[in-house]
Structure 1
Amino acid sequence: MYSPTYGKVNYKEMIDIIKSFINKSPNSIYNISVGTDSQNFDYTKVVVVVAVHRVGHGGIFFYDIKTVKKISGISQKLFYETSNSLSVAMKLSEVLEKEGIDFGISIHVDAGNNGQTYKLIPEIVGWIKACGFGCETKPNSYAASSIADKYTK
């Protein structure tokens, strides 16, 4: 993972930074989000983001970039992005719960009511909620539609 604030970090370092960030203000309200976006070139560039927002007081985020064989279909791309987010969220949730950090994790989906993906929203949201996570779509899905989007370009 990479953080604009902390540079390149491994998974354990990311967890330690998140714990430290939360412990600096334990009575604050936090939103922990995981979102993925992708962009097609001759390949598909995939960016997954873990964001920790201290409500009213900023936040931190981490991202990872990978490339995969070009995914042309819009629905296939959205399901692939969601699968990536769920995979990261499941691992993150397990580790944070062991550390006593249980604010819940929300999956941010890069889909909204004004695009080709709106028909897929009920299925995607149902999948995410069945896995035990909250879900946000555009315009509230900032981890995917703003942060990850920035790094896919």
Structure 2
Amino acid sequence: MKSITYGEISFDKVCEKIKEYTSEDLALEYVISVGTDSQNVDGYTKMVSVIALVRKRKGGIFFYDIKKVKKIKNLRQKILKETQYSIELASNIMDFINQNHIKASLEVHVDIGTHGDTKYLIKEIVGWVIGSGFKCCVKPDSYTSTGIADKISKKGSKVC
């Protein structure tokens, strides 16, 4: 994984940073969100998964991972792959926060909404995420996928 603040960082170190960050002020509310967005770039699909840790009303940090996969042309298949990556990452984080008794809510943010080409996927994707044990956020509340991951996934992004 990568971080603007910490550079190249292993998933284990990301978990340690989550633990450190959430223990700085136990009176505050913490939200961990996971989201993935993708863009077709040249001959492949660039998948960007993000872990965002927000300290309500006190800022936050994020970590991201970039994967290059075989080009996915079908929108439904692309959203399914993004959601799969997010659920897998959220599951690993959930294991860590449960084992370490971290007080933070965990959300999966998906890049779909009630308007546009993805509206027909809402029941399926939201059902999958909730069935996997996570709160699911869609547009306009899915800032991790539709904001952070989207920006990094764009061709020419300065964050790499």
Shorter chain as denominator, the TM-score bin is over 0.9
Q: Give the paired residue count.
A: 153
The 8 Å contact of residues 125 and 135 in structure 1, kept in 2 or not, is answered as yes
Paired position in structure 2 for 1:82:
83
Q: 1:121 & 1:105 partners in 2: Cα distance?
A: 19
* TM-score of the aligned structures, taking structure 2 as reference length: 0.93
Whether 1:54 aligns to 2:61 is no
Paired position in structure 1 for 2:14:
14
The 8 Å contact of residues 93 and 104 in structure 1, kept in 2 or not, is answered as no
* TM-score of the aligned structures, taking structure 1 as reference length: 0.97
Q: 1:34 & 1:125 partners in 2: Cα distance?
A: 14
Q: SS in structure 1 opposite 2:140?
A: coil
| Deviation of 1:103 (Å) | 2.4
Unmatched 5+ residue regions in structure 2? 155-160
Q: SS in structure 2 opposite 1:115?
A: coil
Paired position in structure 1 for 2:35:
35
Alpha-carbon displacement from aligned partner over 1:76-129 (angstroms, at most 9, x marks no partner) = 000000000000000110011101114231100001122111110111001100
Unmatched 5+ residue regions in structure 1? none
Whether 1:45 aligns to 2:46 is yes
Between the aligned residues of both structures, percent identity stands at: 45
Runs of 4+ residues deviating >2 angstroms: none
Paired position in structure 1 for 2:99:
98
